[in-house]
Amino acid sequence: MRRLLFVLLLSACAQVEVKAPEGPLEFDLAGRIAARYRDDAFSGIVTWRHAPGGDEMLISTPIGFRLPLAGLADWVRGRPAPALEERGWKVEYQERDAEGRPVRLRVTHPAVDLRLVISEWK
């Protein structure tokens, strides 16, 4: 447990080079995230800018697992992501806004339970 705490604290302090996504933005969102990985749970705030040329995602919490970014941009917009489903990931849309965009979704994989609440679509 002490080792896990050290890794989480170290990851929370890591410096990351930020580079804006290239090309026109396909979406820009802000919300809250909660995740459970085995016996550990995390929560925080997420902002995400997605463009064809790349992504810029800021999660204000240390997470101790790999997040499947490839395909997640499809799921967050309510589109299928067969590559994720083939790897055992599942999505459940719990609520949508007036325009049909997801605002509450749950993404699961064995040992991982990730909940995302989108408070703002730009």
What are 84-109's pLDDT values in tens digits? 899 899 999 999 999 999 999 999 99
Residue 53, phi-psi category: left (phi > 0), alpha (psi -120 to 50), beta (remainder):
alpha
pTM strictly above 0.85: no
Bigger pLDDT: 35 or 19?
35
> Among residues 92, 104, 112, which one has the least CA distance to residue 36?
112
Tokens of 82: 């067969």
Mean pLDDT of 10-35: 70
Amino acid 83: pLDDT? 86
* Separation between Cα atoms, residue 119 and residue 121, nearest integer Å: 7
Q: What is the mean pLDDT of the chain?
A: 81
